[in-house]
Every structure is written in structure tokens, then in C-alpha cells.
Chain A
Amino acid sequence: MKKYQLNNFGLFLCFVVLILASCTAEFVPDPIDPRLPKYTEDGNNVAGAYVGDNIWESSVTIGFPYYASDKPSIKVWQEKDSLRLRFVGNVDKEQLAIEFHLTELGMIQFEDLINLNGQKISLDGTNNLAYLKANYLSSTNNKGIGQVYFRNVRHSKDKSSIIISGTFGFALSDYYEYPLKVRSGRFDYRIYETDFNPEEN
């Protein structure tokens, strides 16, 4: 009986270790500016950018003991054929998400994410949009004009996830209508099918 309990505990430990190992972020500092993550294509679950003169850094703290709400969020609206990418992070410890709304990409199911590979998408403020959102609420309705570049999108080796790596940069006006630049952004996320949420219309 005692042995059976130990085995269960061992399994639980393995489960916790697996969750932590598979979901934590690995921050590799950029050799030019160590406050930002280096651009990588390894699924390190990190992102970073300059927002004005400040550093925006991702906060991916998935699984035990954290909430799952810090995951990169990907939603698709099949009817409208649009894709929403939300990267959660903070500036000076204030939560700030960077969000992209992209259309006409043909995103219907998880595997379609692979089609993003190599796409450099112009954020024109009309069809393709970028937002800064504080506390998950739109801090401004101003739409960013710029670019998001999905430089490398591929399956992970074990095919369980898709690794999306790329860069972004855009300009918009802040809450007080002052011009604000989001510069030299980079992201490297491991996306699982459970992160890909078709929105019910």
C-alpha cells in the first residue's frame, strides 16, 4: 500500500516537472542590449521590444503555480478569416499586452499556422492592426502602423507544437495621443493546439 502511494507521488512529481519544463521561458539576452531577449527560433517562449524609451518584456508563466492567463493567446475567427495574436508582457512591471489582428491569412485550424512562415505582413491600420493593451483592456483604440514578420514558423521536433519566431515594429499614439513607437520587437513562442482557440461566432 505504501509502495503504491510512493509511485503515485512519483508520477505527480513527474507531471509537475513536465509541466514546468515544457512551459517555462528561457531568456537568452541579446548581445547588443541584454534587456531584450536575443532573436531565437527555438521556442523559448519569450518576446521583447522597446516601447518608447522603455523595455517591454514578455511574461510567460504558464502552469503551476502560476495562472494560465499569461500564455500567448491565439484566437481565430473563422467566419471573418482573421487571426488574433496576443503576447502578454509588462513595461516597468505594469502589464501590457501587444496584440496583432491579421486578416486574409486563411487560418482555420492549428496546422494552418505553418502558412505564416516567411510572411512579412504590413500593419496598415485597416486590415492588419496592432494594439497595445493594458490589463487586457484596450488602453487605446489607436491602431499601430508598421510590420510583423513571421521569419520562421515550423513544427517542433516532436510535432507536438508549432514554433513561431519573428519580429515586429509599429508606431501609434498613446492614451494621451502622443506618438509612441514599438521598436525592434522579437518573439519566439511554442504554440500548442490548446493555445489555438477558434472563436465561436
Chain B
Amino acid sequence: MKAKTFGFLLILLIVFTVKAEAQLYIHSNLAYSNIRNDISIENKEALLGYNYGISIQYYPFRNTEKLSLINELNISRKGYRQKFGEEYEFKFNYLSFPVVFDYSLSDNVSFQTGLEPSWMIDSNVEEWKDTYNKFDLALIFGASFFNQKRWSLYTRFTYGVLPMLDYHEIDDLGNFKDEAHDLKNISVAVGIKINIGNEKISIK
């Protein structure tokens, strides 16, 4: 409880001691989504995923106008598929809250990196709650183009660092092998952002 209160106060401190202009965006992308794995996943192929959401970009650091922070709230679909004659799709829907550092190289190009904590909220897999870990964390690398314009483009590489699956493989005889922590999300996305407003969020 104390940790929650502390976290809430910390967020308030960050938000309300910032004196900055902020841009509000809605964004959407299409993603080439797959998984990384150590255990053998036969006939694995990528899946077309997507992501949409809202974001706020602001400049909390004095004297560093090129550096900004972006907070996002996204719904995203990740996953993969396997083909054994028949096709089996594994689709995972996440609610994510990325925090991204944006560094502007010029008026038209900026680079981004950050973290994407996500919670799995739905899947097409039967009893997914018992099979997959609900919390996921990914590293984000990306670039944004034409930020000064109302419509802009962005690309993003998301590299999952937490395993989605804690699982005991079964060997040929039926013995349980050591628990494997495996399957990590990975995706490459291209999308558009629309600037829907400039807001002042500074409160001293």
C-alpha cells in the first residue's frame, strides 16, 4: 500500500512539476509480429498485428528542447502462427503503457527508445490465462518523421524481454523436463500519428 502511495505521489510530482507544452496524438500501426524462442516451435511464422492508441508528448527537461517524453496508452495485437497443413494462429491482445524518450535530430526526424509494460487482456487461445503470463515488458526502438506536421509517420521495433510462457516440456517417454521460460514477443511496426492538439500541462 505504501509503495502504491509512493508511486502515485511520484507520478504526481513528475507530472505537476513539469512546465511544458504537450502534444496530443492518436496513432495506429500495422505490425509484423512474431516470437523469439529457445525451445523448438515448428513451422513458426509471423502474424500481422496492429496497435492503436493515444499519446502525449511533452518536454520535461530544461535546456534540452530536443529531448522529450512520450506516454502512450495502447491496445495492441501480437502473436504468431504455426502451419501444419492446417494453420494455427496465436493472437494476444495487450493493453500497454509505453514510456518513450524522443530525441529530435531535426524538425522532421526523431529517434525514440523506451519501455513498454503490457498486460495481456485477451487471446484467441483457449484458457490463455492459465497458459501465458499476463504481464509483458518490451524494449522499444523507433523513429518518427514529419513530427511538426499534423499527420506524421513512425516506425517501431518492439523487443520483448520477459517470457510469455513458463512451461514444462514433455519428452518422448512422458517425463517432464526442467521448466522452460520462453517465448518472447517481437514486432516491427509502421504507422501514422495525428496531432489532435497542443496542450499546456505545466503546473508549478
- Interface residues, chain A, with chain B CB atoms under 8 Å away: 26-29, 31-35, 38-40, 146-149, 151, 166-170, 181, 183-186
Contacts and interface: CB of A to CB of B under 8 A. Distances in A.
B168 A31 contact: no
Given A29-B125, A32-B40, A181 B172 contact: yes
Interface of B: 39-42, 82, 84, 88, 90, 125-127, 130-132, 165, 167-176, 183
B39 A29 contact: no
A168 B42 CA distance: 22
A31 B131 contact: yes
A149 B183 contact: no
A33 B90 CA distance: 11
7 contacts: A28-B131, A29-B126, A33-B42, A34-B88, A168-B174, A169-B171, A169-B174
A184 B172 contact: yes
B64 to A, nearest CB: 45
Given A28-B131, A29-B125, A34 B82 contact: yes
Given A33-B42, A34-B88, A35-B84, A28 B172 contact: no
Contacts of A166: 174
Contacts of B172: 169, 181, 183-184
Contacts of B82: 33-34
B126 A167 contact: no
B145 to A, nearest CB: 38
Nearest to B125: A29
Given A28-B126, A32-B40, A184 B174 contact: yes
Contacts of B130: 28, 40
Interface centre among B84, B126, B132, B169, by most chain A C-beta atoms within 10 angstroms, is B126
Given A32-B169, A34-B88, A38-B131, A147 B42 contact: no
B34 to A, nearest CB: 15
A45 to B, nearest CB: 14
Given A149-B174, A184-B170, 18 more contacts: A28-B126, A28-B127, A28-B130, A28-B131, A29-B125, A31-B125, A31-B131, A31-B165, A31-B167, A32-B167, A32-B169, A34-B82, A38-B131, A147-B174, A149-B175, A169-B174, A183-B172, A184-B174
